[in-house]
Amino acid sequence: MLRMLALFPFIAAISACSASLLSSSQQSTALTRTVVVDNLRSPWGIAFIDANTALITEKEGGLVIADLGSGETRSISGLPADLIDDIRSEVRFDNGGLFDIALDPNFAAEPFVYLSYAAKSDQGRTTKIIRARLEETSLEEAQTLLVADPFTEGEFFHYGGGLAFGDDGKLYVTIGERIYNERDNPALPIAQDPKDKRGKIYRLNKDGSAPEDNPDFGPNAAPGLFAMGIRAAQGIAVQPETGDIWFSEHGSRQGDEINRLAAGANYGWPIVTTGGYRNDDYTPPTLEGRDFTAPVWFWRQTVAPTGLAFYTGDAFPQWRNDLFVSGLSRGSFWRFNFENGVIVSVEELFVDDRIRSRDVAVAPDGALYMLTDTLLAPSPEGGLDYTGEAGGQLLRISPRKR
């Protein structure tokens, strides 16, 4: 992400007046954000046990259970031993840590939590999906559901890790291609190789096995493979109205996307992209006989979209069924207005407030929540940089009383 932020050097071209340009608008917005849980360590994902209780993953290696009334948190023990702690990591640019969380659709009777994280071994690092039974504040009987082989060494980006249960009761998982530069691809690019588990989206049974009605990607394809051609997808969410599954994806140079998931689809990376490549002189290989699926939306600027959720609550009736998307870059938060399945307007909320929004979620009572990473501040080089000063927060978004 530090490199991505460096894409905004032009802010430096503005005079001293830029400070006012970037001043916080949090206090003056028509929306109120109330801090519900504070001092989280780079929170990544959230799952609601009920309207008052949520499990929150922290990228820096923690899982907590939060009381949304008091804001108190308790640590959950029993996280896997091979989990990378992002902050402690000795590997440069390692984006690793604990990522997303999903609850079993039948959680009341089968209290399993599903987790994604960056795992390390003697061979390097990769993305892993596990499930475990939650007993009070500990995880028990952890099972590995997916290991996004191969383990690799070097610098580590784009683990992916988005988790969502579809209406079909299957677990959908996003896995990034885990390289920084498209030039580092083999002749058959990672995301285009059905045998390589990276750069894909999976559909799994709860025990990690592959459903029999998954699409066919050939005899040697990775088990559970559902779609390919993925660069760096993170967020994944179900659209309640339709049961469709949507996912966000980071572009390399612009080209951040919102996609609708389709069985067997190939989203094109790195053969086609809505943005540019890191290197202007990169020429992707020509691959015969592949059809690529275009995104439903792509931004023309860098947004770094992460978590996403369709709004189903009552607090904002005019926004019901709209898609909300968190963005890390500059701290942005987006609302997509759908009508008859088509995006007809796109609104950026909380503009220029520097709050890195990592995830957005709707609680069982219809409340809208935002999970924030850290604050940004102007860097000496003129872009925006992490402050490292403030912890992550769970914020409840409400209409302001007038």
In the complex, which residues of this chain contact a copy of itself (CB under 8 A)?
Answer: 8, 10-11, 13-15, 17-18, 20-21, 23, 25, 28-30, 254-255, 268, 272-276, 291-296, 299-302, 318, 335, 337, 339-340, 342-352
Nearer CB in complex with a copy of itself: 24/121: 24
Contact 60, 40 (CB under 8 A): no
Q: Is 82 left (phi over 0), alpha (psi -120 to 50) or beta?
A: alpha
Name the 3-class secondary structure at 21. Answer: helix
Helix (H) or strand (E) holding 218: none
CB neighbour list of residue 192: distance below 8 Å, 6 or more residues apart: 199, 228, 229, 266, 269, 270, 271, 287, 290
Q: Supply the minimum distance, in Å, between the C-beta of residue 278 and a copy of itself.
A: 14
| Measured distance CA(98)–CA(161) in Å, rounded | 9
Helix (H) or strand (E) holding 200: strand 200-204
Q: Supply the minimum distance, in Å, between the C-beta of residue 302 and a copy of itself.
A: 7
Residue 292, burial from CB neighbour count under 10 angstroms (0-12, 13-18, 19+) = middle
Nearer CB in complex with a copy of itself: 335/396: 335
Nearer CB in complex with a copy of itself: 30/81: 30
Nearer CB in complex with a copy of itself: 30/187: 30
| Measured distance CA(99)–CA(332) in Å, rounded | 20
Nearer CB in complex with a copy of itself: 118/227: 227
Q: Supply the minimum distance, in Å, between the C-beta of residue 166 and a copy of itself.
A: 23
Place of tokens 């860097």: 379
Q: Does the CA dihedral 353-355-361-363 come out positive or negative?
A: negative
Q: Supply the minimum distance, in Å, between the C-beta of residue 90 and a copy of itself.
A: 35
Nearer CB in complex with a copy of itself: 10/220: 10
| Measured distance CA(252)–CA(232) in Å, rounded | 9
Nearer CB in complex with a copy of itself: 102/245: 245
Name the 3-class secondary structure at 191. Answer: helix
Q: Supply the minimum distance, in Å, between the C-beta of residue 193 and a copy of itself.
A: 19
Q: Supply the minimum distance, in Å, between the C-beta of residue 218 and a copy of itself.
A: 21
Q: Supply the minimum distance, in Å, between the C-beta of residue 238 and a copy of itself.
A: 22
Q: Supply the minimum distance, in Å, between the C-beta of residue 159 and a copy of itself.
A: 25
Q: Among candidates 324, 322, 327, which has minimal Cα distance to 337?
A: 322
| Measured distance CA(163)–CA(332) in Å, rounded | 22
